Chain A
Amino acid sequence: MSLGHTIETGLRSLLGHRLRSVLTTLGILFGVAAVIATVGIGQASSDSVTARITSLGTNLLTISAGSSVTGGVFGGAGSANTLTMADVSGLQDRQSAPDIEAVAPVTQGRASIVSSSGNWSTTVSGSTAGWLVTNSRTVGSGEFISANDAATRAQVIVLGSTTASNLGVGVGDLVLVRQIPFEVIGVLAPAGSQGFGNQDDLAVVPITTAQDELFGGSASVQRILLSATSPSTIGSAYLEADQILLQTHHVTDPSQADFTITSQTQVLSTAQAVTQTLTILLASVAAISLLVGGIGVMNIMLVSVTERTSEIGLRKALGATPGDLFRQFVIEAGTLTALGGLLGVATGLAVGYIVPRAANIAVTITPLPVVTAVGVAVAVGLVFGVYPALRAARLAPIEALRAQ
């Protein structure tokens, strides 16, 4: 039998069982759509994490305090109070650290800010003028914290644009943080929100004010942000910072250091690994549903072979070879999955279009998962169609004819 007639015969038989064909197709459709949508969401979040981290600048180094050890229990990075303002001035020394452009100590916590028209809870960071440079931000209106503000423990605050608009305040207004009045001296230019979190929802106060008035009166800093003079000098900046801190902390064995220096590249690769793992996890779940859809195809093809035993017998009596019947049933299975695959792509693309608009979740559709999902769907159909097709091809014509 020619391929054209085999396909025609297969299609006719599928059309003869419309509901069954549609339901089987649905199994594959959802599998393919799920793979495309989950991989798309995973890809989008990975992209946004990458974009956020690179927007912070590839010449940024972060120094975290080491872990506290209380009775043998490690408190985790940053729990020890090993970084001080002395370290900050040490790092600012142009002589011993020529490749470090700016230094910003950070002590932060969440706090509720109250204005005359409302209140808003956000992350309040205590820092210095260097914060602006290390974070690659600019001031939209007013001015940023100055060295003088830090020296005088000024009760001044700089707000992110989202925070400012949520509180309904501008430059010159007064807000209360933990009952302490602060004057808004500046509002940052928007940096845009990407994926998780919002870079425009924050507040910055002088570090001295934060240490003394807001976060418990300790002179320690949680983190120190450093920016190298350029992305190419980040390696030497790293070494200079390491040397200075080992000296000021009197650590002779570098493996015993009570601080950790991480670069953006490290953070980036860690974050990418995390999102990649999540994407793989999501895609695996979706792939399993595709597999289940494939088993559904096999199931329906087996039912079809059993149901049409006498038809198979008749076709054999009329001259159908085992090869003819094998091809006919494989084509039926292949058609169901190919159709499911194509409709699945359409559904997946529709999800990719609707979800970002309806739920504010970014979806990035790339060709690879689309092609792969369809390819896998068709492969699944063929693989799961082979066994029922072999059953049909191997039926003895007499037995098959007798099965009425």
Chain B
Amino acid sequence: MAAVAEVEVAWSAGAAVASGLGPTELIRLESITKVYGSGDGSVVALRSFSLTVDSGESVAVMGPSGSGKSTLMNILGCLDIPSSGRYWFAGQDVSRLNETELARVRNRRIGFVFQQFQLLAKLSAWRNVELPLLYRNVRNRRALALEALEQVGLSNRIDHRPSQLSGGQQQRVAIARALVTNPDLILADEPTGNLDTASSRDVLAVLRELNEQGRTIIVITHDPEVAPVARRTVHMRDGQLIDEVAA
């Protein structure tokens, strides 16, 4: 626990001194380039990509497939590191962290919502929601998980397995799992990609409500129906930002 406390201190110190970020700035990408492979076969997925997201914002990242939005999502989510450029997250330069350090940032700072839900089929709803807490040794995990499930309106489904839930309900369990650690950022990758219209509306409503409560949300999507969930929309093509729309 001592090591964790040190990281926290480093973070707040970093926020104030190292980056010179304003108090509301959560994310700053500075000329991020990501290249896959090397030599002739290399693919540039992101070119000098810069973006700033304030705490409490909701941003939709839109673009056709191949535009680099998945790569952006991986970098934003600390699942991958950029080839060059800097990524400041809550005042900490996370662009050069090793795998274990990145895992800690993901666990403490970021909640993920995936297109495929990514629930573990053998675990009940609350056990799924509990998962991220297992990686940070929290005591009252069940209480926290139930609270998160209540927030997404699934208090009556806590012991159901994913297979006993509808698609929309499964995605709401996934959102509860993203919420349970009280993260700085919720990162949703095509959250309605596998859902029918009614379920999509449900899930988007939950995300909008979370944002209204003050949570920072970034949604990655190619679906124009989804973008309005965010107050700000960013369009991408060929690994670059092409224009920005504030709703």
Assess the B122–A16 pair: CB atoms within 8 A: yes
Q: Confirm or deny: A397 has a beta carbon within 8 angstroms of a beta carbon on chain B.
A: yes
Chain A residue at minimal CB-CB distance from B123 = A12
Residues facing B in A1-49 (CB within 8 A) are 1-2, 5, 9, 12-13, 16
Total A residues in contact with B, Cβ cutoff 8 Å: 26
Q: Give complex CA distance A401, B112 in Å.
A: 12
Q: Is B99 an interface residue (CB 8 A)?
A: yes
Q: Which of B79, B104, B122 contacts A397 (CB 8 A)?
A: B79
Complex alpha-carbon distance, A9 and B103, angstroms: 18
Q: Bound state CA distance, A316 and B122, in angstroms?
A: 18
A-chain residues with CB within 8 Å of residue B118 when the two chains form the complex: 310, 313-314, 317, 401
Most buried by A among B77, B79, B108: B79
**Interface assignment of B136: CB less than 8 Å from any CB of chain A:** yes
- With A9-B134, A12-B122, A317-B77 as given contacts, are A322 and B114 in contact (CB-CB < 8 Å)? no
Bound CA span A320–B120, Å = 15
Query: Within the complex, which residue of B100, B106, B135, B177 is in contact with A322, where a contact is CB–CB below 8 Å?
Result: B100
B191 at the interface (CB under 8 A from A): no
Question: Which of A2, A13, A313, A315 counts the most B-chain CB atoms under 10 A from its CB?
Answer: A315
A319 CB–B CB distance under 8 Å: yes
A318 within 8 A of B: yes
> By the criterion CB–CB under 8 Å, are B99 and A322 in contact?
yes
Query: With an 8 A cutoff between CB atoms, is A255 at the interface?
Result: no
Query: Is B137 located at the chain interface by the 8 A CB criterion?
Result: yes
Which residue of chain B is the closest to A320 with respect to CB atoms? B135
Q: Does B80 contact A (CB under 8 A)?
A: yes
Enumerate chain B residues within 8 angstroms of A322, measured Cβ to Cβ: 99-100, 103
Q: In this assembly, does A143 line the interface, its C-beta being within 8 Å of a C-beta of chain B?
A: no
Q: Are B112 and A317 in contact (CB under 8 A)?
A: yes
Bound Cα distance A328, B247 (Å): 46
Output the nearest chain A residue to B112 by Cβ-Cβ distance.
A317
B132 within 8 A of A: yes
Q: Assess whether A149 is interfacial by the CB under 8 Å rule.
A: no
- Which residue of chain B has its CB nearest to the CB of A316? B103
Known A1-B134, A5-B134, A324-B135; judge A317-B120 contact (CB<8 A): no
Render B171-190 as a binary contact track against A, CB cut-off 8 A, 1 for contact.
00000010001000000000
Digit string of B196-218 for contact with A (CB within 8 Å is 1, else 0)? Answer: 00000000000000000000000
User: A318 with B177: in contact, given A1-B134, A398-B79 (CB under 8 Å)?
Assistant: yes
B134 touches A317 (CB 8 A): no
Any B CB within 8 A of the CB of A200: no
Docked CA distance A385–B118 (Å): 26
A332 to chain B, nearest CB (A): 14
- Assuming the A-B contacts A1-B134, A314-B120, A315-B131, are A320 and B103 also in contact, with contact meaning beta carbons closer than 8 angstroms in the complex? yes
Question: In the docked arrangement, what's the CA distance between A404 and B189, Å?
Answer: 15
- Closest Cβ of chain A to B239, distance in Å, is 16
B122→A319 contact, CB < 8 A: no
A314 contact set on B, CB distance < 8 A? 118, 120, 131
Chain B residues with CB under 8 A of A397: 79-80
Decide yes or no whether A213 CB sits under 8 A from chain B: no
User: What 1/0 mask marks residues of chain B from 96 to 115 whose CB sits below 8 Å from any chain A CB?
Assistant: 00011001101110001010
Q: Which residues of the partner chain A approach B103 to less than 8 Å between Cβ atoms?
A: 316, 319-322, 324
- A323 on the interface (CB 8 Å rule)? yes
The answer to whether A318 and B135 have CB atoms under 8 Å apart is yes
B123 to chain A: closest CB distance in Å?
8
Complex CA distance for A311 and B79, rounded to whole angstroms = 15
| A-facing residues in B69-99 (Cβ within 8 Å) | 74, 77, 79-80, 99
The answer on a CB contact under 8 Å between B80 and A398 is yes
A404 and B99 CA atoms in complex are apart in Å by 23
B132 touching A319, Cβ below 8 Å: yes
Contact B99 A317 (CB under 8 A): no
Residues of B within 8 A of A310 (CB): 118
Please pick, from A318, A320, A323, A396, the residue contacting B112 in the complex, using a CB distance under 8 A: A318
Shortest Cβ gap from A335 to chain B (Å): 17
| B116 interface residue (CB < 8 Å to A) | yes
Contact A318–B106 (Cβ < 8 Å): yes
Instruction: Give the shortest distance, in Å, between A387 (CB) and chain B (any CB).
Output: 19
Query: Which chain B residues border A12 with CB–CB below 8 Å?
Result: 122
A317/B122 in contact, CB under 8 A: no
Q: Which residue of A lies closest to B73 (CB)?
A: A398
Measured between beta carbons, the chain B residues less than 8 angstroms from A320 are 103, 107, 135
**What are 11 A-B pairs with beta-carbon distances under 8 A?**
A5-B134, A13-B122, A310-B118, A311-B120, A314-B118, A314-B120, A319-B132, A320-B107, A321-B99, A321-B100, A401-B79
Could you list which residues of chain A lie within 8 angstroms of chain B, going by C-beta atoms?
A: 1-2, 5, 9, 12-13, 16, 310-311, 313-324, 396-398, 401, 404
* 3 cross-chain pairs, A with B, having the tightest CB-CB distances, nearest first: A319-B107, A319-B135, A321-B103
Given contacts A318-B107, A321-B99, 14 further A-B contacts (CB under 8 A): A1-B134, A1-B135, A2-B137, A12-B122, A316-B79, A317-B77, A317-B79, A318-B132, A319-B106, A320-B103, A320-B107, A397-B80, A398-B74, A401-B79
